[in-house]
Amino acid sequence: MSAVRWIAWNARSVRRRSSACVLVLCGAIAILLGSAPAASAASCTDTWTAAGSGSWNDVGNWSAGVPTSTSDVCIPDIGKSYMVTLTDGATAKSLTLGATSGAATQVLDLLAPPGHNATLAFTADSTIAQTGELVFDSQAGGGFTQVSSSATLTNNGTITAQVGGSNVNYLDANLHNAASGTLHVTSGELRQDTATATTNDGALIVDASSQFTLTSGSAAVANDTGATVTNNGAITLTSGASWSQLGGGESANPVTMFGGTLTDHGAGSGGFTLIDNTAISGTIGANETVDLTGTPGHNASATFAAGIVTNNGTLILDTRSGGGYAALTNGTLNNNGTLTAQAEGSNIDYLEVTLNNAHGAHLHITSGNLRQDTATTTTNDGAVIVDASSQFTLTSGSALLANDTGATVANSGAITLTSGASWTQAGGAETGSPVTMFSGTLTDSGTGSGGFTLIDNPAISGTIGPSETVELAGTPGHNATATLHAPSVTNNGTL
């Protein structure tokens, strides 16, 4: 932290202390009660004893000398704000930074100026108390900063990550960002690149042009109920890192995941962009949007980790211009919200899961082609909408669409079944352009409405309803021969 920033920060701290109580009253309280205790002062074996700010590496600033790997380090409230500056490397058994209450702030600044890194390693669970602040401070032209441990750092105060140059700050410890805690990435990149977990019960803030990245396949973030993630920059997970959306809020820019698993409890809010081969587990919440994005050089294929996923929000298959395909594969999707398929380029979106489109839910193809090309069934009890110039195609001989009573299919584009794919008209309505079937079986309950064009060698079963039209169309290069399934077919409409 620069001298100018320190003066400004210290002045703000003084103003906070001045507004908290009159000087005489503060003095009386200090005499009667003493300074607020460190969060776990009883475990301290090496305590900061300097009268104010100073260097971690100065032996005279500590009760037992410069801390070592066996030291339980405490940086306590001394009645005024101060900063401990750590440059190069340091180790400790544990760290307790700050106190549980008080107007003063205790800052541990991991300062990496030109020619120096700044690293802190500890081996036992450690705490940043409510008045403490840990700063990752990689300066212009400086080295990296790093906190590393296999133990857990619990943050009840503030962690700030800032980069003045092109280097990176590293969070290589398990972090519990408690309800009162704030993890704030103000500039540059904070990178979690080892098999550690960040559990957020407080506030995680990434400022514009800043980044929080997880780059290890075993790295994870859990965003718990009541927690907030404000992503004005970029939060990016690569290499299989995972995110658990456990009821917390996520706002501004979506979290971007290249691979890994999105586990969702359905009670949170926010946005997630999934690229490459990801897995989805649980329930997409009503206030959440999950976008499978095929970008140039990348497909977006999502499997369902537990077999069944429920969508109460918005799930998008999104093939961008010049991008790869987007696909849902392997499992069952219970859709109570909106499933949107859009393709800007020549590629295709793929529906390779069993889809239960519930009453009130929407399957909406806004552009391009959504293709159901495996032996899966789409059961429509809600609304299927195909916009003009868009397509919904079933291209597997075992693919099936069932249009149930009360459901609607609004076909302003083209719905086409090939290779023996079948349609069950089980009381639903079909409007706009007719459904075109090249072979396959049309099974009709006789209570629905709509139009069907049959080409090649289709089969008809059941009853053609009074509000339905079935046309056998011989087109150039195609005959239209329909087999009527036993025991008979009844036509109450138009054949």
In sequence order, what DSSP letters do the residues of 332-395 get, joined into one string? EEEESSEEEEEESSS--EEEEEEEEE-TT-EEEE-SSEEEE-SS-EEEESSEEEE-TT-EEEE-
Per-residue pLDDT of the chain (495 residues; tens, 9 = 90+): 444 344 444 443 433 333 333 322 333 333 333 344 555 444 899 999 999 999 999 999 999 999 999 999 999 999 999 999 999 999 999 999 999 999 999 999 999 999 999 999 999 999 999 999 999 999 999 999 999 999 999 999 999 999 998 999 999 999 999 999 999 999 999 999 999 999 999 999 999 999 999 999 999 999 999 999 999 999 999 999 999 999 999 999 999 999 999 999 999 999 999 999 999 999 999 999 999 999 999 999 999 988 999 999 999 999 999 999 999 999 999 999 999 999 997 889 999 999 999 999 999 999 999 999 999 999 999 999 999 999 999 999 999 999 999 999 999 999 999 999 999 999 999 999 999 999 999 999 999 999 999 999 999 999 999 999 999 999 999 999 999 987 899 999 999
Q: Can you give the pLDDT at residue 33?
A: 34
CB-CB contact of 167 with 191 (8 Å): no
Closest CA to 271 of 239, 314, 242: 314
Q: Can you give the pLDDT at residue 6?
A: 44
Q: Say which residues have a Cβ less than 8 Å from residue 346's Cβ, sequence separation at least 6.
A: none
Please give the helix or strand (H or E) that residue 464 lies within, else none: strand 459-464
Taking the C-alpha atoms of residue 76 and residue 68, their distance in angstroms, rounded to an integer, is 18
In 3-state terms, what secondary structure has residue 437? Answer: strand
Taking the C-alpha atoms of residue 421 and residue 396, their distance in angstroms, rounded to an integer, is 6
Taking the C-alpha atoms of residue 29 and residue 225, their distance in angstroms, rounded to an integer, is 37
Q: Can you give the pLDDT at residue 305?
A: 82
Taking the C-alpha atoms of residue 46 and residue 208, their distance in angstroms, rounded to an integer, is 39
Taking the C-alpha atoms of residue 255 and residue 276, their distance in angstroms, rounded to an integer, is 14
Q: Can you give the pLDDT at residue 16?
A: 34
- Give the phi and the psi of residue 14 in degrees, each rounded to 5: -65, -40
Q: Say which residues have a Cβ less than 8 Å from residue 494's Cβ, sequence separation at least 6.
A: 464, 468, 469, 470
Taking the C-alpha atoms of residue 134 and residue 113, their distance in angstroms, rounded to an integer, is 17
